[in-house]
Amino acid sequence: MASNLLNLISTVLFFVVGFALLRWINRFEPQWVSRDGMRFSARMTEDKVDASKWVDVRVTIDEKQLIVQARGRRGKLFRGRWIVGYFTETQDSKRRHYVVTNELDRDDRAILRVPANSTCVVALDAMIR
């Protein structure tokens, strides 16, 4: 009887710790950046009030434009060349949000999100000025 109770407690404890670790790990945003900050991974979403889905994208800075590559159906919206407009002030001090405009359709805007301490922030800020 005691061994069954001990097995039950250890199993429940295992799942609780595993769930807590998953929640803790998901707080961190994975990002890859090249040494010069000209190529990096980021997340993008549409610049709409009801947009909440962030899509992982790969970005290359080409002079005054961003070349965005994304995989999957959700990322199809973001493929192409984008122009950095400005960065937005948010309450999130760990991330920087940039408003970008599609080169072909000026009405098509999106938000690019990168970690605030990333090497690519310097390159993105230089594109604004």
**Residue ranges of the chain whose pLDDT lies below 70:** 29, 51, 129
Instruction: Decide: residue 44, CB within 10 A, 0-12 exposed, 13-18 middle, 19+ buried.
Output: buried
What is the predicted pLDDT for the residue at 12?
A: 94
Instruction: Identify the H or E element spanning 111.
Output: strand 109-115
So what CATH class is 39-128? mainly beta
**For position 107, what pLDDT does the model report?**
78
Q: Tell me, what's the pLDDT at 129?
A: 59
pLDDT at 108: 81
Judge contact between 57 and 44, C-beta under 8 A. Answer: yes
Q: In the prediction, which pLDDT does 23 show?
A: 83
pTM value is: 0.73
Question: In angstroms, rounded to a whole number, what is the distance separating the alpha carbons of residues 28 and 115?
Answer: 10
Given this model, what pLDDT does residue 10 score? 92
Task: Give pLDDT, residue 2.
Answer: 78
Q: How many CB atoms lie within 10 A of CB 98?
A: 23
Q: Determine the pLDDT at residue 11.
A: 93
